[in-house]
Amino acid sequence: MTKQISSSTKVKSLSKRTIAVRSGLNSDEQHGAVIPKISLSTCYGFAEFAKPRSFDYGRKSTPNRDSVEQTIAALEGGVDAILTNTGMSAIHLLSVALLSPNDLVIAPHDCYGGSYRLFNSLSQKGYFKTQFVEQSNEQALKQALQQKPKLILIETPSNPLLRVVDIQKIAKLAHEVGAIVVVDNTFMTPILQSPFELGADVIIHSCTKFLNGHSDLLAGVLVFKEQSLADDVLWWSNNIGTANSSFDAYLLQRGLRTLSVRVLTQQESALKIVNFLNNHPKIAAVHHPSLPSTPGHDIAKKQQKGFGSLLSFEIKGSADKTPLFIEQLKIFTLAQSLGGTESLISHPTTMTHSGISAEARKAAGISDQLLRISVGLEDVNDLIEDLEQALNAI
Ligand SMILES: *Cc1c(COP(=O)(O)O)cnc(C)c1O
C-alpha cells in the first residue's frame, strides 16, 4: 500500500521532541499552509484509468491519518503505524489479524481492564485462547511460555499499582519460543520508554491518553518494527474498518506537538506529589516506580527514561475516609482516564476495577482505600495544597 511520508518526520536522527513538534508541518504544496489541512473527503480521484494516487478510499488511509501514523512510528523508532478509532480497537485489530482458534495469548494478570475483558470474552467465544500470567514471576512465565504462545502482551508500569516488569527479559524468553512480543506503552509514551530497543515487535498506545493529552478524542495506534507485519495488519484494518476520522487525527497531531513538554513537566510534578504523600502521616502507602518500595523500581531505573506521572496511594484508617477525602478536593476531578493536561483522581474499586470481584482485587493488591492520580499540568504547588487541605479535613 502506498503511503505518503511527511517530510519533517523522515529524518531519523531528530530528537523525539522535534519530531513531535514538527509533525506534518509544511505539507501543503498549493498554498504553503504551515499547519496541515483537515482532509474530509472520503474518496480520492484516480490520476488516470487504473492509476490510483497515494489515497483512494478513506477507510484504508487518509492524509491526516497517514501523517500522524508516520509521526508516531518515528517517535517509537518503528517502520510503520496504524491509527485506529480507540485503543481497544487497536488491540482488537491486532488480535483478529494475528490469531487463530488454536493460538494462545499470554497477557499480564494485572493488565488494563479493557484488555482483560477483550481477551477473556474473545477466548470464551473460541477465537483464540488466553492465559493471564504474573509476568514478574519468572517460573510462572516460563511455564506459560512452554505452551508456545503466538503472542505475549506486556504492559508496564501496571495499573493502578505501577509495578514494573522487565521488557527485555520477557521479550527474550518469549522470542525463544517464537512468540510475537507486544508492548502496551500507553503509560510511558515514546518519551519515557522505547520498547523496540528492548525487544518488542509491536507497540500499542491508547492515543486517548498522553499522545493526544487533552482528553477530547479517542484513538489507538499499533506501531511495527517489520513492514511485512504492518502490511498484514493494515489489510485487516481496511477489511474490518477500524479507521478514525480525519478530524480526530488532526486533533491528535495537534496534541502530539506538545507531547514531550507535557510528559516531562507532568512527571516532574508527580515526583513532588509522591514526595509530599510519602511523608504525610495520614498516608499508608504510595505506589510509584520512583519508590524503592514499588516492585520493579530497579528495573524502572534502567528500562525507563523517567518514572512517569501516574501514581497511586492509600489513606490510613477506615475505608470511609476515602470518599470524604475525595469530596474535599477542589482541583482534582474524579474521573477515570489519564494522561491529559488536567489532574484526575480515580478510585479503582468503584471505577476502573469495579468489574473485578472483591477477592480478585484483594489478591491483586488493590484495596478499597486505593486512589490513583494522573498528574496534569496545573501548578504543582496548587495540587499539593489541594491534597493537603483535603487530608487535613478528614
Ligand atoms: C485506556 C487504555 C487502553 C484502551 O484505550 P481506549 O482508547 O480507551 O480504547 C489500553 N491500554 C491502556 C494501558 C490504557 O490506559
Write the DSSP assignment of 307-348 as a string of letters.
Answer: --SEEEEEESS-TTHHHHHHHH-SSSEE-S--SSSS-EEE-T
Atom number of ligand 1 nearest to Cα 338: 15
Indicate the CATH number for domain 16-256. 3.40.640.10
Domain with CATH 3.40.640.10 in the chain: 16-256
Indicate the CATH number for domain 259-392. 3.90.1150.10
**Binding site membership of 94 for ligand 1 (Cβ less than 6 Å):** no
Angle at 367 between CA 361 and CA 371, to 5 degrees: 115
Spot the catalytic one: 184, 201, 248, 386.
184
Report pLDDT for 10: 52
Report pLDDT for 354: 87
Residue 59 annotated in active site: yes
Question: Where does residue 287 fall: left (phi above 0), alpha (psi -120 to 50 degrees), or beta otherwise?
Answer: beta
**Binding site membership of 189 for ligand 1 (Cβ less than 6 Å):** no
Atom number of ligand 1 nearest to Cα 220: 7
Domain with CATH 3.90.1150.10 in the chain: 259-392
User: What predicted TM-score, i.e. pTM, was given to this entire model?
Assistant: 0.95
Spot the catalytic one: 65, 129, 163, 209.
209
**Binding site membership of 196 for ligand 1 (Cβ less than 6 Å):** no
CB 151, CB 182: distance < 8 Å: yes
Strands 202-206, 180-184: pairing kind: parallel
By CB atoms closer than 10 A (0-12, 13-18, 19+), residue 228 is: exposed
Report pLDDT for 12: 55
Report pLDDT for 307: 98
Report pLDDT for 4: 44
Report pLDDT for 1: 39
Question: Where does residue 187 fall: left (phi above 0), alpha (psi -120 to 50 degrees), or beta otherwise?
Answer: alpha
Residue 250 annotated in active site: no
CB atoms within 10 A of CB 18: 14
Nearest CA to ligand 1 atom 1: 206
In the reported structure, the alpha carbon of residue 112 is separated from the centroid of ligand 1 by a whole-number distance in angstroms of 7
Per-residue pLDDT of the chain (394 residues; tens, 9 = 90+): 334 444 444 555 899 999 999 999 999 999 999 999 999 999 999 999 999 999 999 999 999 999 999 999 999 999 999 999 999 999 999 999 999 999 999 999 999 999 999 999 999 999 999 999 999 999 999 999 999 999 999 999 999 999 999 999 999 999 999 999 999 999 999 999 999 999 999 999 999 999 999 999 999 999 999 999 999 999 999 999 999 999 999 999 999 999 999 999 999 999 999 999 999 999 999 999 999 999 999 999 999 999 999 999 999 999 899 999 999 999 999 999 999 999 999 999 999 888 888 888 888 889 999 999 999 999 999 999 999 999 999 9
- Show the cell assigned to 41: 473527503
Report pLDDT for 319: 87
Report pLDDT for 357: 84
**Binding site membership of 306 for ligand 1 (Cβ less than 6 Å):** no
The length of the chain is 394
- The rounded distance, in Å, linking the Cα atoms of 254 and 89 is 22
In the reported structure, the alpha carbon of residue 86 is separated from the centroid of ligand 1 by a whole-number distance in angstroms of 8
**Binding site membership of 212 for ligand 1 (Cβ less than 6 Å):** no
Nearest CA to ligand 1 atom 6: 87
